[in-house]
Homo-oligomer: A and B are copies of this chain.
Amino acid sequence: MLDLWYSEKLSEGAKFSMLVDEHIYSEETPFQKIDFFNTKTFGKFFTLDGLIMLTEKDEFIYHEMITAVPMAVNPNIKKVLIIGGGDGGTAREILRYNTIEKVDMVEIDERVVRLCQKYLPSTACKLDNDDRLKLYFEDGLAFVRDAKEGSYDLILVDSTDPIGPGEGLFTHEFYKNCYRVLSEDGILINQHESPYYDEYRREMKRSHSKIKNNFPIAKVYQFHMPTYASGHWLFGFASKKYDPVADLKADEWNCFGIKTKYYNTDLHIGAFALPNYVKEELESV
């Protein structure tokens, strides 16, 4: 049997490895290197510039947590902007809510979308068959700069780490424009890195510092994501007026009747109860 391992460095002195059945496809685009693999333990997975984006085994955790949390705080969200998210998982999850009227998805690299449609239909399945969704292959930073004031209820920043094409999405200017294009009910959710390893903790703090400067409410929530560094991953929740716990509308969310494998409204509250060491790091910025 082929003993081929994909390894990802989590920190200077730590790595995570997956046994690969087949390296399905590899392509170098103007933006990044895209690779698809097949495994027995995790199903298919893909990487951008050698970093795991998702595996079929646990992508549901990330995609439920990025979408269900804001929907349970403001169940009246109608207009959504997704920045990044080329694999389609975030779009798939948000489109499960019938009350959503419009989803604009801005992915800088069209090849990510096209290749996920070919190799990862389990996440990309909703990218070409829902009239509410419109795809834009542009830079997210430029898109929000040009977007109309107050035109979205929800922005989901489903980005890579702040190195390479995702870099502009971690800037002060980006968050400032997000605030402007959000409605008065607006919520911003962003990929917020991780507290455990030094390299990720640094980015977590940088990101939090910028969001705090632009939004009156800026909280962080956690979830268990086994194939991301340390398994302890974070999203940021920023808004103009809603507190993610005090304004949770558990009954309304449960009325949607959306079956989830990870999220529930008790866990929603628990996700915002951070460990002391994480709170201290965030408060120190």
Chain A interface (Cβ < 8 Å from any Cβ of B): 5, 7, 11-19, 39-42, 58, 61, 196-197, 222, 224, 226, 230-232, 260-264, 266-267, 269-277
Contacts and interface: CB of A to CB of B under 8 A. Distances in A.
Nearest to A222: B224
A226 to B, nearest CB: 4
B269 A269 contact: yes
Contact of A226 (B230, B264, B272, B277): B230
A269 to B, nearest CB: 7
A276 to B, nearest CB: 5
Contact of A276 (B232, B262, B271, B275): B262
Residue with the highest number of chain B CB atoms closer than 10 Å, among A42, A231, A266: A231
A273 B269 CA distance: 8
Contacts of A196: 58, 224, 226
Given A261-B277, A271-B270, A12 B19 contact: yes
A264 B260 contact: no
A259 to B, nearest CB: 8
A277 to B, nearest CB: 5
Contacts of A277: 261-262
A27 to B, nearest CB: 24
Contacts of A42: 13-14
A126 to B, nearest CB: 21
Contact of A224 (B11, B39, B58, B230): B230
Contact of A273 (B41, B231, B266): B266
A231 B226 contact: yes
A273 B275 contact: no
A64 to B, nearest CB: 9
